[in-house]
Structure 1
Amino acid sequence: MTPTSTLTTAIDTTAVFDRKDSNPEFPHEQVIFCEDSATGLRAIIGIHSTVLGPALGGTRFYPYADHGSALTDVLRLSRGMTYKAAVAGVALGGGKAVIIGDPAQAKTNDLLRAYGRFIETLSGHYISAGDIGTSSDDLDIIGQTTDHVVGRSATAGGSGNSGPMTALGVFQAMRAAATSVWGEPNLSGRTVGVEGLGKVGSELVSLLHANGARVVVTDVNSHAVERIIAKYPDVTAVKNIASCEIDVYAPCALGGTLTASSAGQIKARVVCGAANNQLWTPDVDQILHSRGVVWVPDYVANAGGLIQVANERVSSTPESVRSQVESIYDTVQALLDQTSAESITPGQAADLIAEQRIRAGRIS
């Protein structure tokens, strides 16, 4: 797992406008810095686009090495949410937020309520969900001071943990990629390496195990590995999954694990996981493609959680939500067909779909 702070080494983290990692055609609409001296809250909310609807995205609570790292993360993640929502076809824009600090030490109910009050000042332009370092219980507390939050517990009127639906979407995306590579949507007997065993990675292991895949895992948290091995004794723990002899590599931790170097050495035929911003630099997409490795763009594969919480706003049934998440299989299959037909990479195909929908939304 690559620390988020290292993602900033290739860009000027002091820049706000005209950053090298931004798209001038689709700039951020707003970036809000939030500080509350009474609780120690320091947060950044990034609203990338509200063209297709209010900006929805999770709140990440993380001990960033510096404020530049936090800003880079929120800008990249919020932009990714815009594209994710556009490809998923939900009436939402893209946003994301980060709270700076170690959640094990800094997180308090008063801090979360203070954060909720900042969200409330944005009048619904940003809607928070959960992310790394925040849970449904935390969202319940944030929801005490703002109505603009989804992913709360069922007792608080929400749909609860979005990890299972995110994992299901990744699994469906993986099946579609398997069809493209091996001719059938069957992972039985395939070796899948899952990197990161948090809310999504652990659920993905369960799905893969139930479907007969051979699973290898890794996580910087040894207790997370131990829990998986205790539950599934035939799962193998390794130090470095990307270098293993595997069929599918599933990055489910923090981003940036796919570098030009690792992309040139990876042995898997499919890369499909839940982590956001998996590519260290955009050219990694082309490197994987030229080597015949099928990469499913992260914001396409991991849209299940977004679909779940988006449906809270329209009171959909659990069966309808599951059906929409399972349709990620069809989305990925169509995307990979377009990749082949137009001789472009999966990343290029996904971006084209998203940007076409955003441009159409501007016109309407």
Structure 2
Amino acid sequence: MSVFDHIEFDEHEHVAFCHDKETGLKAIIAVHNSYLGPALGGCRMWPYASSDEALNDVLRLSKGMTYKAAMANLHQGGGKAVIIGDPRVHKSPEMLRAMGRFVESLNGKYISAEDSGMSVCDLQLMAQESTYIAGTKASYHFAGEEADGNPSPSTAYGVFIGLRESVKYKFGTDLQGKKIAIQGLGHVGYRLAEHLHREGAELYVADIYPESLERAKTQLNATVVSPHEILQLDVDVVAPCAMGATINHQAIGQLKAQVIAGAANNQLATENLGELLRDKGILYAPDYVINAGGIIDIYHQQISSSNEALKAHLEKIGQTLNEIYMRADEQNLATNIVANSIAEEKFKK
């Protein structure tokens, strides 16, 4: 099947494939839209079950980055890269340098940053071969801490702000005593859990790595549940912070939470599920709005900015969500449809 016929193809400007036999690199880069500026997006390494699964992910993710940049009011387009492989097993310095050469081959159409399965050190290896790598160093941190180029702290803080505002909009209360189920304790999910714990939330967590679960249980007094149970719990909020498409028909049928607000990209398996969530009275924070902290962080590292300016920009995520929620209620529309409409006004020619 041609990529043009793929169900997730959405007038993408550029889709490139790379296989480096010597290092074992198998990767895809997708540029969705560059109307507002060069396409920026993270490079993800994941043990995809097939190349079609990887293509599906990179097409969805790159599209999401376009909408994310537009809603965050950034002069950037949307792109994404995926590497097929287990980052704990298959990653090597040679492979990462080969990935850098792949990024360089697009001559600036795509600027790569950090994503799942990748680290700042990995990006620095890629940067040995490409001038189009972001997030290898940083000057600003929203909390005034030492900045190392990792955008995860900003992503987590933005999600925390968005989740807190979503709870306030839905329940009219703060986070104290709220039951929150976090699906995935990676770089962002665990930091989100820390923010929520400090606000007095009651945490339930699931992850595929036992060490993360033990840490959350010991340090955050979190209740550990299986990945199969996490979306079915009788909680106030579900925070998807792992892979996308976990909010599907089956999951919605089992949801007891009244709010969905998390860090994962492409949380809805299909766009029409937003209407189903609305019909069930579940408030959904559009993923590319609430998880824009990372791209906001990278933007500020590239300009003359400050810790205070970065923090203020991150906290605007809450304001943007409130605007979406109010418009959705006024127009009786799903929140994701409203967010899409606002974003498309900004980047569609």
User: Normalized against structure 2, the TM-score is what?
Assistant: 0.94
Map Cα deviations across residues 219-274 of structure 1 (whole Å, 9 max, x no partner): 12112101111212x21111212111100000001111111122122111100000
Q: 1:179 aligns with which of 168, 171, 174?
A: 168
Matches within 5 A, 1:118-197: 118-154=102-138, 159-184=148-173, 186-197=174-185
**Does 1:357 find its partner at 2:342?**
no
Q: 2:51 aligns with which of 67, 87, 90?
A: 67
8 A contact 1:39–1:110 mirrored in 2: yes
Q: Which residue of 2 aligns with 1:261?
A: 250
**C-alpha distance in 1 between matches for 2:9 and 2:333:** 21
Instruction: Give the deviation of 1:158 after TM superposition.
Output: 7.5
8 A contact 1:273–1:298 mirrored in 2: yes
**C-alpha distance in 1 between matches for 2:86 and 2:258:** 36
Instruction: Give the deviation of 1:153 after TM superposition.
Output: 4.1
SS across alignment from 1:34 = strand
Q: Which segments of 5 or more consecutive residues in structure 1 lack a partner in the other structure?
A: 1-13
SS across alignment from 1:192 = strand
Instruction: Give the deviation of 1:345 after TM superposition.
Output: 0.5
8 A contact 2:44–2:81 mirrored in 1: yes
Instruction: Give the deviation of 1:172 after TM superposition.
Output: 1.0
2:52 maps to a residue whose letter is G
Q: Which residue of 2 aligns with 1:78?
A: 62
8 A contact 2:8–2:59 mirrored in 1: no
1:290 maps to a residue whose letter is D
1:327 maps to a residue whose letter is K
8 A contact 2:167–2:175 mirrored in 1: yes
Instruction: Give the deviation of 1:159 after TM superposition.
Output: 4.7
8 A contact 2:3–2:9 mirrored in 1: no
| Identity level (%) | 43
**C-alpha distance in 2 between matches for 1:162 and 1:65:** 27
Instruction: Give the deviation of 1:105 after TM superposition.
Output: 2.2
8 A contact 2:113–2:135 mirrored in 1: yes
For the aligned residue pairs, the C-alpha RMSD in angstroms reads 1.6
Paired positions, count: 341
Q: Which residue of 2 aligns with 1:323?
A: 312
Deviates more, 1:271-280 or 1:144-153: 144-153
Q: Which residue of 1 aligns with 2:3?
A: 16
Matches within 5 A, 1:1-364: 14-23=1-10, 27-154=11-138, 159-184=148-173, 186-232=174-220, 234-239=221-226, 240-359=229-348, 362=349
* Over 4 Å off, 4+ runs: none
Instruction: Give the deviation of 1:217 after TM superposition.
Output: 0.7
SS across alignment from 1:106 = coil
User: Normalized against structure 1, the TM-score is what?
Assistant: 0.90
Q: Which residue of 1 aligns with 2:143?
A: none
Instruction: Give the deviation of 1:316 after TM superposition.
Output: 1.9
1:296 maps to a residue whose letter is A
**C-alpha distance in 2 between matches for 1:261 and 1:250:** 17
8 A contact 1:159–1:308 mirrored in 2: no
1:87 maps to a residue whose letter is M
Q: Which segments of 5 or more consecutive residues in structure 2 lack a partner in the other structure?
A: 140-145
Instruction: Give the deviation of 1:149 after TM superposition.
Output: 1.1
**C-alpha distance in 2 between matches for 1:159 and 1:80:** 25
1:354 maps to a residue whose letter is A
**C-alpha distance in 1 between matches for 2:205 and 2:304:** 36
**C-alpha distance in 2 between matches for 1:261 and 1:316:** 45
**C-alpha distance in 2 between matches for 1:151 and 1:272:** 25
Instruction: Give the deviation of 1:154 after TM superposition.
Output: 4.6
**C-alpha distance in 2 between matches for 1:158 and 1:78:** 26
SS across alignment from 2:121 = helix
SS across alignment from 1:321 = helix
Q: 1:48 to 1:329 in 2, by over 3 A?
A: same
